[in-house]
Amino acid sequence: MATKRLMKEFSLIKKEIKSNPEYSNVIFLEPLDNLFEWRCILKGPAKTPFEQGKWELSVQVPEQYPIQPPKLKFKNKICHPNINFNTGEICLNILNQDQWSPAWNLLSTAVAVLLLLQNPEPTSPLNIDIANILKLNDKMAYDSLIRYYTYRFGNAEI
Amino acid sequence: MNGFTDPNHITDPTDFKTTSIPKIFEIDSLLRCHICKEFLNAPMLTSCGHTFCSVCIRKCLMHTAKCPICSKEIRESNLSRNVVLEQLVTSYKIIRPDLLKKLVVKQDQQQNIIDKQPEVIDLDDEEDEGKEEEEEDDDDVEEEIIIVEETKKRKNSSSIESMFKRQKKEDRKPNPNTGVCPICSKVYPLEELQTTHIDACLANPQPKSEPPRLEKTIKNSSSSPFSKSFFQPKENINNYKKLTKLDYSSLSTPQLKTKLSKLELPTLGTRHELETRYNEYLILWNANCDSINAKNPKVLRSQLAKWESSIKVKFEGDKKLDKDGWKELIKKARESLKKDPVNTDNEKNDARGEIDCNQHGD
């Protein structure tokens, strides 16, 4: 089931990614040398401190996909309350088995990560420092720190 | 290459986005399962009103008892069959390739619209043409497109009608070289009917469910997909009894083996393998019971064997395609794009882009 569905997703992504404005920040989403390992490049959404940044994510698809969720990780460093600065691990509810739904696909998962960039959740942080700044509502410190790290590390290339 | 499907057979709703009736995109996507993204196979209605393939939703509910769309709690026992939908999917699947072929807007026609070739522009005032600013020109183009589409629609609908008319005629005047089997009421070539088929049909009542690989027959059944279930409801439903889940904790390994051998399944392997085998077969079997065109258990067993071997390959860590295998796949995909007249140039460009990207990816 997984391979067939992944083939389908791939052919759909090829068509959708360029034409549909909903996916304009997903610059690249393609399998590597097998269908169970994908590479994704996301662009920081406009009007956020992540603007101009580009991050590479590794996408590991389990054999049981779509019953089980894919595993996503940031490859280059990103400063975000819900993303581990060193490992790139993402804290996102839909990536957990109990919140994941098989009706989701890889593209919608990538969009969910983009939404997380726009809407951080400081109550379940993986990067405590930036989460604390957000909790204290220091908008200026939050934005400028993220902008610095975006400038410093957010430069993945296709 | 284990498990990889032929790229030619990958269809998706966006195929219709480039046709003269892009709205069919919606119908096409509504007839698909949200889990496997294929056309619904033995669709099951949940208590919350959503529909999935029987196999998919059963597999899903084994993990979490939640609807994949609205995440309401649902139970496997509350699933109910959706017969009309299954018939709808069956007949849609048959007409889909023809529909796509008839509705596809040829590349040069599209170009005509964009380039505003004289034939199309004739419909409008020529005076306006020269004077108006560019923005309004765009409006003109849109009107033209609508006109072109309407004429196309008319043409297409008439050709679709004629398609059906032709089929009806075929029904009335059956091919003299074929005949209807009195037992399973399917059409076979006369020769096969007289020599082998009737004996086989009498000896084994199952072949009914195995559709003979004859185009004629498929067409016939497509013209009246519902007649079967209307006139012979008992034959297709409940030919097979549903299997029940096993309580593995109270079952010894020999007992489990006898259960498996009763179902004519292999009894080799570790306890864990036996359990996963039974679970998978349970899903396949019960889903098969939900289908109008239930398959022969033999088919299910071969599906199970295929599934098991694919799992084994993955366990051995051999899931990676080697470089050559991957290149082969890309080559195939490319060829299919070239061959398939339905695909537009647009997609070809995409495919090229993809290969370039892959090289970067390496």
> Using a CB-CB distance cutoff of 8 angstroms, which residues of chain B are in contact with residue A67?
59-60, 63
Q: Which residues of A touch B (CB under 8 A)?
A: 1, 3-5, 7-9, 11-12, 14-16, 18, 28, 30, 32-36, 39, 63, 66-68, 97-98, 101-103, 105, 158
- Residues B10-14: contacts with CB under 8 Å, at least 24 apart: B10/A7, B10/A8, B10/A11, B11/B96, B12/A8, B12/A11, B12/A12, B12/A15, B12/B37, B14/A12, B14/A15, B14/A16
- The confidence score (pLDDT) of residue B190 equals 73
> Of A51-65, B140-154, B199-213, where does mean pLDDT reach its minimum?
B140-154
Q: Is residue A111 exposed (0-12), middle (13-18) or buried (19+ Cβ within 10 Å)? A: middle
CB contact at 8 A, A71 and A12: no
For residue B346, the model assigns a pLDDT of 44
Q: How far is B60 from chain A (nearest CA, A)?
A: 6
How close A148 comes to chain B (CA, Å)? 27
Q: Which chain B residues have any C-beta within 8 angstroms of a chain A C-beta?
A: 3-5, 7, 10, 12, 14, 17, 34-38, 56, 59-60, 63-64, 66, 68-69, 71, 311, 314, 319-323, 326, 347, 350-351, 354, 357-358, 360-362
Torsion of the alpha carbons at A86, A92, A94 and A97, rounded to the nearest 10? 60
C-alpha distance from A17 to closest chain B C-alpha (Å): 10
pLDDT range class, residue B8, cuts 50, 70, 90: low
User: Left if phi > 0, otherwise alpha if psi is -120 to 50, otherwise beta: which for A22?
Assistant: alpha
CB contact under 8 A, B5 and A66: no
Residue A86: pLDDT over 90: yes
* Residues in chain A closer than 8 A to B10 (CB atoms): 7-8, 11
The overall longest dimension of chain B from CA atoms, in Å, is 90
pLDDT on residue A87: 94
Does A30 sit within 8 Å of B63, measured CB to CB? no
What are the Cα distances from residue B265, in Å, to B132, B275, B289? 76, 12, 18
Active site residue A79: no
Q: What is the mean pLDDT of residues B5-19?
A: 73
The residues spanned by each domain of chain A are: 2-153
The full DSSP string for B239-259 is SSPPP----GGG--HHHHHHH
Contacts of A39 in chain B (CB under 8 A): 361
Residue B279, helix vs strand vs coil: helix
Helix residue spans in A119-138 (DSSP H): 128-135
pLDDT of B126 strictly over 90: no
Asked if the Cβ–Cβ distance from B10 to A32 is below 8 Å, we say no
In chain A, residues with a C-beta closer than 8 Å to the C-beta of B38 are: 4, 8
CA B226 from chain centre, in angstroms, equals 18
C-alpha to C-alpha distance for A73 and A91, rounded to whole angstroms:
10
Q: What's residue B95's pLDDT?
A: 92
B360 CB burial (10 A radius; 0-12, 13-18, 19+)? exposed
- At residue A34, the pLDDT reads 86
The CA distance from B107 to B310, in Å, is 41
To test the contact with chain B by mutation, choose from A17, A22, A101, A104 the residue with the greatest count of B C-beta atoms within 10 A, namely A101
| Contact (CB, 8 A) for B87 and B41 | no
Fold of A2-153: Ubiquitin Conjugating Enzyme (3.10.110)
pLDDT digits (tens, 9 = 90+) for B297-321: 888 888 888 888 877 765 554 445 5
Question: What is the structure's pLDDT at B340?
Answer: 52
**What are the chain B neighbours of A33 within 8 Å (beta carbons)?**
320-323, 326, 362
What is the biggest distance separating any 2 CA atoms in chain A, rounded to whole angstroms?
48
pLDDT, residue B325, reads 67
pLDDT-above-90 percentage for chain B:
13
Q: Which of A7, A36, A102 has the CB atom closest to B60's CB atom? A: A102
Neighbours of B135 (CB within 10 A): 7
Q: How confident is the model at residue B182 (pLDDT cuts 50, 70, 90)?
A: low
Report the alpha-carbon distance of residue B301 to residue B175 in Å, rounded. Answer: 36
| Phi and psi angles of residue B335, each rounded to the nearest 5 degrees, phi first | -60, -40
Contact between B189 and B196 (Cβ < 8 Å): no
Rounded to the nearest integer, the mean pLDDT of chain B is 69
Predicted confidence (pLDDT) per residue in B62-120, tens digit: 888 889 998 889 988 889 999 999 999 999 999 998 988 888 876 666 555 555 444 44
Q: What residue type is assigned to position B168 of the chain?
A: K
Rounded to two decimals, the ipTM of the complex is 0.80
Residues A125 and A81 sit within 8 Å (Cβ to Cβ): yes
Q: pLDDT of B223-263, one tens digit each?
A: 444 444 444 444 444 567 888 888 888 888 888 888 888 88
Q: Identity (one letter) of the amino acid at A141? A: A
The percent of residues above 70 in pLDDT, for chain B, comes to 51
From A71, A84, A50, select the one nearest A152 (Cα to Cα).
Answer: A50
- From A67, A66, A62, A119, select the one nearest A91 (Cα to Cα): A119
Residue A106 CB partners (closer than 8 Å, separation 6+): A9, A13, A29, A38, A40, A59, A61, A70
Tokens of A145: 């720190």
Quickly state the pLDDT bin for B215 (edges 50, 70, 90).
very low
Model pLDDT for residues B136-181, shown as the tens digit of each residue = 444 444 444 444 444 444 444 455 555 555 444 444 445 667 777 6
At B84 the pLDDT is: 92
The secondary structure of residue A65, as a DSSP letter, is: T
Q: What is the mean pLDDT of chain A?
A: 91
Q: What is the pLDDT of residue B331?
A: 75
Report CB contact under 8 Å: A33, B321. yes
- Which of the residues A9, A18, A35 would you substitute to probe the B interface, choosing the one with the greatest number of B C-beta atoms within 10 Å? A35
Token digits for A90?
A: 């993402």
Tokens 């934005």 identify what position? Answer: A143
pTM above threshold 0.80: no
From the CA of B327, how many Å to the nearest CA of chain A?
Answer: 9
User: Out of A2, A35, A91, A111, which one is annotated catalytic?
Assistant: A91
Q: How far is CA B261 from the centre of its chain?
A: 32
pLDDT for res B209: 44
- Among B4, B83, B50, residue whose Cα is nearest residue B320: B4
Does the beta-carbon distance from B3 to A3 stay under 8 Å?
yes
Q: How confident is residue A22, by pLDDT bands cut at 50, 70 and 90? A: confident
Least confident of A99-108, B70-79, B218-227: B218-227
Helix (H) or strand (E) holding A31: strand A26-31
Q: Is the pLDDT of residue B7 over 90?
A: no
Chain B residue numbers touching A36 (CB-CB < 8 A):
319
- What separation, in Å, do the N-terminal and C-terminal C-alpha atoms of chain B show? 19
Report the chain B residue with the minimal C-alpha distance to residue A157: B360
